[in-house]
């Protein structure tokens, strides 16, 4: 039994350590080092490059939402359907953490791009 | 606001199955799907499915789709197409875009069966026209009848990459190579073997360095990667291709559930963000269930069972089914699902590198790296038999849940037994009549009929053949080995295309008898093919 509780304790500690790697903004993640593939476009809709995303992390944007607001990644026509996972991976690598620890972008209405005149075209309640 | 007993989002295999199950219990059901046609991925699946009879094994995916649609019609399910659910709110309210209008709909129960979307990888030139998802290639070919390209490189050796590579060849494209950053082929060995014997090379531990071209893809450069997935200098290989297909996995499209406030978890084994589910697809939101890839990437056969489970659970939730009946039904479905979730590709074995089969036979290493079982390795498997007269030779070497070969043989020559993942054996004593049902029924196209010695120095090999044009009797050409290498001259002695074979033609070729156990594909001479 003690072995099981030890294991639980260790798991909790590991989780806390992982969480602090995401949340502890005073942590030193090192300097931004330019890479040869920095000019590859990652978010096609908003034409954001890998280098811009990596730089944003070094500018202090440590979450998907922050990078999204800073660079508009995932805010174009496809709403991050293609790049969501890629952006998350780039941020995680820059922070030295597993992508699973990063909260994905917020999901909100409308789930799919649609024209405003349609969005406003609500059926009338009889 | 319109109100339904059940609203299903997504008319794919799991969504339709859920709707049918619920409607069969008397529920008033509507299914919304944003596409023009229902069926999800099923109508792109032109290959035969694996499993047992109960799982519709050896039936082609699109036919399963047709059956589901008919069943949905019979049970009174309303399928609403071009209807995009753009929001899921509290109190079971959905906002749906139908045509140019926004409608609000209420479901006393809701089943989210939105499936998954394709993952992408980035490399130099990945935004060039000509770099497409494997699913997109399938949509072009199988739904719209459009050739994606002439010469293709496939990135990804999972089942999607392998199956789509084969379909690309079926529609007349050339597949230059299949590359994968992983050190081993990820999909079924039989799917890999199908394309390897047509001569497609596999490059494992290789990935794309760059796509070449200025305004569209004109070539691709791949290179080997080390165990940290870093390129090894000097290992670059170039291919002239006009299309690069990406098949590097799927991500659940679970955003609606996240939006509605369901408890979510990031589970790499399930493909990403998935709802945390209780029994039978119950999410943390009361009355909201989920089924299929959205709750964890698997395949269509298990998605259909999960759909049934969620449908029954929704019926029980609203009292359309009493608890006893529900328990009984769920037990039945759970058993059926666990039968599918067995073998070396089962979810619980994901990421494990097995070395022997359940029977204790060493797994073929060449199959995992080159896509074919080597001549030395194949002899060890129970289906690979030598005999006088015509007999089946079964090159099924991995434990996967599938058994149509056992069911279709009228002479009981083939046995798998009760354990559906066991490797098929050719039973001693039983007499093969050469009907070819096993050859046509094997979803992995891994069964051949061989008459090793016709008495005149030749042998006859019958292979499953799903390419057009179909060579006529008497056509001469080259027999290819399991690895796709030219072996010897061969001529077609018979073509069989019975209705029961469901478009898998049986091509019997005559080869010198020393090649009987190696000749596994036929390529007609260019002049003869005209």
ipTM, 2 dp: 0.88
Between CA B284 and CA B112 the distance in angstroms is 13
Cα angle B275, B337, B52; round to 5: 145
Q: Which of A42, A83, A109 is nearest residue B95 as measured by Cβ atoms?
A: A109
Q: CB distance A109–B267 less than 8 Å?
A: no
User: Cβ distance B32 to B85 under 8 Å?
Assistant: yes
Q: CB distance A118–B255 less than 8 Å?
A: no
Per-residue pLDDT of chain B (530 residues; tens, 9 = 90+): 899 999 999 999 999 999 999 999 999 999 999 998 899 999 999 999 999 999 999 999 999 999 999 999 999 999 999 999 999 998 999 999 999 999 999 999 999 999 999 999 999 999 999 999 999 999 999 999 999 999 999 999 999 999 999 999 999 999 999 999 999 999 999 999 999 999 999 999 999 999 999 999 999 999 999 999 999 999 999 999 999 999 999 999 999 999 999 999 999 899 999 999 999 999 999 999 999 999 999 999 999 999 999 999 999 999 999 999 999 999 999 999 999 999 999 988 888 889 999 999 999 999 999 999 999 999 999 999 999 999 999 999 999 999 999 999 999 999 999 999 999 999 877 789 999 999 999 999 999 999 999 999 999 999 999 999 999 999 999 999 999 999 999 999 999 999 999 999 999 999 999 999 999 999 999 864 44
User: Cβ distance B189 to B397 under 8 Å?
Assistant: yes
| N-terminal to C-terminal alpha carbon distance within chain B | 62
A contact residues 23-82, partner B, Cβ 8 Å cutoff: 37, 40-42, 44, 50, 81-82
Interface probe, candidates A107, A120, A126, chain B, greatest B C-beta count within 10 A = A107
Fold of A34-102: Arc Repressor Mutant, subunit A (1.10.10)
Q: CB distance B272–A85 less than 8 Å?
A: yes
Contact list in B for residue A36 (CB cut-off 8 A) is none
Q: Residue A125: which pLDDT band, with cuts at 50, 70 and 90? A: low
The SS3 assignment for B466 reads coil
Between CA B7 and CA B17 the distance in angstroms is 13
Superfamily the domain B120-246 falls into: FAD/NAD(P)-binding domain (3.50.50.60)
Q: How many CB atoms lie within 10 A of CB B205?
A: 19
Residue A24 has a pLDDT of 85
CATH 3.50.50.60 region(s) of chain B?
A: 2-116+250-340, 120-246
Q: Which of B102, B127, B255 is nearest residue A107 as measured by Cβ atoms?
A: B255
The backbone torsions φ and ψ at residue B443, rounded to the nearest 5 degrees and listed phi first, read -65, -25
Q: How many CB atoms lie within 10 A of CB B303?
A: 29
Is the peptide bond between B326 and the residue preceding it cis, with omega within 30 degrees of 0? no
Please tell me if residue A123 touches chain B, with a CB cutoff of 8 Å.
yes
Between CA A52 and CA A94 the distance in angstroms is 12
User: B525 is written with which tokens?
Assistant: 């001479």
Residue A126 has a pLDDT of 55
Q: Domain spanning B2-116+250-340: which CATH class is it, in words?
A: alpha beta
Residue B428 has a pLDDT of 77
Instruction: Give residue limits of the domains in chain A.
Output: 34-102
Q: CB distance A112–B255 less than 8 Å?
A: no
Q: CB distance B100–A109 less than 8 Å?
A: no
Interface probe, candidates B97, B114, B271, chain A, greatest A C-beta count within 10 A = B97
Q: What is the pTM of this model?
A: 0.94
Q: Which of A40, A104, A111 is nearest residue B85 as measured by Cβ atoms?
A: A111
How does the average pLDDT of chain A come out, rounded? 89
User: B350 is written with which tokens?
Assistant: 């994901």
């Amino acid at each position: 039994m003690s072995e099981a509780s030890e294991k639980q304790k260790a798991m909790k500690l590991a989780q806390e350590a992982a969480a602090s790697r995401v949340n502890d903004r005073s942590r030193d993640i090192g300097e931004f080092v330019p890479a040869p593939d920095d000019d590859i476009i990652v978010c096609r809709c908003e034409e954001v490059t890998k280098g811009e995303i990596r730089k944003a992390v070094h500018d202090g944007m440590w979450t998907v939402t922050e990078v999204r607001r800073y660079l508009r990644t995932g805010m174009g026509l496809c709403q991050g359907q293609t790049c969501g996972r890629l952006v998350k991976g780039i941020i995680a690598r820059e922070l030295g953490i597993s992508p699973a620890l990063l909260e994905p972008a917020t999901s909100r209405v409308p789930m799919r791009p649609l024209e405003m005149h349609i969005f406003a075209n609500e059926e009338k309640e009889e | 606001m319109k109100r339904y007993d059940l609203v299903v989002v997504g008319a794919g295999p799991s969504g339709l199955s859920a709707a049918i199950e619920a409607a069969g219990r008397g529920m008033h059901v509507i299914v919304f799907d944003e596409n023009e046609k229902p069926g999800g991925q099923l109508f792109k699946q032109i290959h035969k499915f694996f499993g047992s009879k109960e799982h519709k094994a050896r039936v082609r995916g699109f036919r399963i789709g047709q059956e589901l649609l008919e069943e949905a019609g019979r049970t009174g399910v309303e399928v609403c197409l071009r209807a995009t659910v753009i929001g899921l709110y509290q109190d079971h309210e959905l906002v749906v875009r139908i045509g140019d209008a926004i409608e609000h709909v209420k479901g006393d129960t809701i089943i989210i069966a939105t499936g998954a979307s394709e993952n992408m990888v980035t490399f130099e030139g990945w935004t060039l026209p000509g770099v497409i998802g494997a699913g997109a290639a399938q949509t072009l070919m199988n739904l719209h009848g459009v050739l994606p390209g002439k010469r293709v490189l496939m990135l990804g050796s999972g089942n999607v990459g392998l199956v789509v590579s084969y379909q690309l060849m079926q529609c007349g494209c050339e597949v230059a190579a299949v590359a994968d950053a992983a050190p081993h082929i990820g999909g079924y060995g039989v799917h890999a073997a199908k394309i390897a014997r047509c001569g497609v090379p596999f490059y494992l531990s290789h990935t794309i360095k760059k796509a070449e071209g200025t305004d569209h893809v004109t070539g691709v450069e791949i290179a080997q990667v080390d165990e940290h997935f870093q390129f090894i200098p000097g290992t670059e290989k170039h291919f002239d291709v006009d299309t690069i297909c990406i098949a590097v996995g799927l991500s659940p499209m679970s955003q609606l559930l996240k939006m509605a406030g369901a408890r979510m978890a990031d589970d790499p084994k399930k493909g990403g963000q998935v709802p945390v589910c209780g029994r039978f697809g119950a999410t943390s939101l009361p009355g909201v269930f989920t089924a299929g890839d959205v709750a964890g990437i698997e395949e269509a056969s298990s998605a259909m069972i999960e759909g049934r489970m969620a449908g029954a659970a929704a019926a029980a939730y609203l009292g359309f089914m009493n608890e006893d009946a529900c328990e009984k039904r769920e037990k039945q479905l759970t058993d059926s699902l666990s039968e599918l979730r067995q073998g070396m590709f089962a979810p619980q074995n994901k990421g494990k590198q097995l070395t022997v089969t359940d029977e204790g036979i060493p797994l073929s290493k060449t199959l995992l790296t080159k896509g074919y079982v080597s001549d030395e390795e194949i002899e060890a498997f129970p289906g690979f038999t030598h005999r006088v007269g015509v007999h089946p030779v079964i090159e099924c070497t991995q434990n996967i849940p599938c058994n149509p070969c056992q069911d279709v043989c009228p002479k009981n020559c083939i046995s798998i037994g009760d354990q559906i993942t066991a490797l098929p054996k050719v039973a001693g004593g039983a007499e093969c009549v050469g009907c070819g049902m096993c050859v046509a029924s094997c979803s992995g196209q891994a069964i051949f009929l061989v008459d090793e010695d016709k008495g005149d120095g030749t042998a006859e090999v019958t292979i499953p053949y799903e390419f057009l044009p179909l060579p006529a009797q008497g056509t001469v050409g080259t027999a290819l080995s399991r690895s796709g290498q030219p072996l010897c001259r061969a001529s077609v002695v018979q073509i069989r295309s019975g209705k029961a074979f469901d478009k898998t033609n049986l091509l019997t070729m005559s080869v010198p008898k020393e090649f009987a156990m190696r000749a596994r594909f036929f390529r007609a001479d260019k002049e003869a093919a005209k």
